Each structure stands twice: as structure tokens, then as C-alpha cells.
């Protein structure tokens, strides 16, 4: 299965996917990493793994359609079948949604539909929830909406330590995402 990974930040989830492909736990070929922040650490991770990166800055384009058309050209050229979002901080627009209907997946650090959008972990902590978790879901035009594929929850006990919780979230993500993708691609 040919996939493209979309990211904007550190890319620890991208790394987890790269590692599971290398360990043959995930049967996929990572054809491209798409990144909207040329300075993001994920660019280095991709380069180190020898994966081609398409890096762009939205502000150099007149709108979403324009840069998504360019992304679509790259995806088509590389025969990419699935778009895998991993910390990609932009809504997917009609150009890519139409081309990849039901073939776009995202991971979000909350038990959706609770706490969509930015800083989901902070939102959940501020709300004082006692169960937190991670969601993998299909992407539609909304912000962290779309049918849920997998969720994993964990209890929050006692004193809330933001860094510890963030660590726990990442640990869950790094197992849950590759495993969920593997079950999708089978």
C-alpha cells in the first residue's frame, strides 16, 4: 500500500510509522512526506530515512486549492493510495477530499468527539476529565470530525502532570496508529 504522510511539527508519529514499516509490522511504502512548515523537525526525520519530502508554505500560494492541486500532482505521480495525517495542522480542502474520498486518516489526541481542534490535551486537562485517550478517524471537511476507526483510553488519576500525560498520549499514538493502519490496509 502506497502512502503519503502529512505533518507540520516534530513528527514523532511519522517516525513511529517509518519504524513500523522498517520492522515490517506495517505493510506500506512511504512514498512522500508532505509538510507545510519547512523548519519543522519532521523534515529531518524524513531526510534521515531517505524519504522524499514535499515542503511548502501556504502563504506562497493564493489559496488552499492552489497548493492542494500541487500536492495532488505529487500524490498522483507517486501513485499514493492513502493520505495519512500525523500532526498536520491544516484542514484538508475539496481538492484532496474529492481525490482521496475515504482514503484520508488522522490521529487526534483526545477521545473524539470531545476536544477537537488545537491543544486537545490542554483542553481535556482544563476540563478535568478522568479518562483521556487517542482517536484514529477518517477525515472529512470538518475539524477532527469523520467516522472513528479506533480509540484507546486511559484513566487520569491523582495529580495531573501535563508532561506525563503528553508522554502517555504519544506512547499510545505510536502503537495505535501503525496498528490501525495495518488493519485498514489488509
Does 30 engage in binding with ligand GRF (CB under 6 A)? Answer: no
Catalytic: 108? yes
Please measure the distance between the N-terminal and C-terminal CA atoms of the chain and give it in whole angstroms: 9
* Residue 77 or 131 having the CB closest to ligand GRF: 131
Shortest distance in whole angstroms from residue 8 CB to ligand GRF: 7
Does 36 engage in binding with ligand GRF (CB under 6 A)? Answer: no
Strands (E), 8-147: 29-35, 53-55, 82-85, 104-108, 131-138
Shortest distance in whole angstroms from residue 49 CB to ligand GRF: 14
Residue nearest to ligand GRF (CB): 87
Does 146 engage in binding with ligand GRF (CB under 6 A)? Answer: no
- Residue written as grid cell 470531545: 114
- Per the CB < 8 A criterion, the answer to whether 69 and 50 are in contact is no
* Residue 85 or 97 having the CB closest to ligand GRF: 85
Angle at CA 5, nearest 5°, toward 45 and 174? 70
* Residue 130 assigned ligand-binding role: no
Torsion angle (degrees, nearest 10) of CA 50, 96, 10, 55: 60
Which one, of 104, 102, 47, lies nearest residue 71 by Cα?
104
Which one, of 51, 131, 63, lies nearest residue 95 by Cα?
63
Question: Three cell numbers at 33?
Answer: 512526506
Shortest distance in whole angstroms from residue 87 CB to ligand GRF: 3
Shortest distance in whole angstroms from residue 76 CB to ligand GRF: 25
Selected binder of ligand GRF within 2, 9, 99, 179 (CB under 6 A): 9
* Residue 90 assigned ligand-binding role: yes
Instruction: Point out which residues bind ligand GRF (CB under 6 A).
Output: 7, 9-13, 86-87, 107-109, 169, 173
Binding-site residue positions: 11-13, 64, 89-92, 106
Amino acid at each position: 500500500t502506497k502512502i503519503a504522510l502529512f505533518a507540520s511539527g516534530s513528527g514523532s508519529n511519522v517516525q513511529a510509522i517509518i519504524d513500523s514499516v522498517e520492522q515490517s509490522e506495517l505493510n506500506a511504502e512511504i512514498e512522500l512526506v508532505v509538510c507545510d512548515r519547512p523548519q519543522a523537525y519532521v523534515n529531518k526525520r524524513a531526510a534521515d530515512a531517505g524519504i522524499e519530502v514535499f515542503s511548502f508554505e501556504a502563504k506562497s500560494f493564493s489559496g488552499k486549492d492552489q497548493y492542494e492541486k500541487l500536492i495532488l500532482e505529487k500524490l498522483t505521480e507517486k501513485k499514493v493510495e492513502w493520505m495519512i495525517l500525523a500532526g498536520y495542522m491544516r484542514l484538508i480542502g475539496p481538492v484532496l477530499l474529492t481525490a482521496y474520498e475515504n482514503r484520508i486518516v488522522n490521529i487526534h489526541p483526545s477521545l473524539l468527539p470531545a476536544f477537537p481542534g488545537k491543544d486537545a490535551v490542554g483542553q481535556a486537562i482544563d476540563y478535568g476529565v478522568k479518562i483521556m485517550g487517542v482517536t484514529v478517524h477518517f477525515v472529512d471537511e470538518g475539524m477532527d470530525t469523520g467516522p472513528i476507526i479506533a480509540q484507546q483510553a486511559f484513566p487520569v488519576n491523582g495529580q495531573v502532570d501535563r508532561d506525563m500525560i503528553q508522554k502517555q498520549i504519544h506512547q499510545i499514538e505510536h502503537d495505535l496508529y501503525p496498528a490501525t493502519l495495518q488493519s485498514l490496509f489488509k
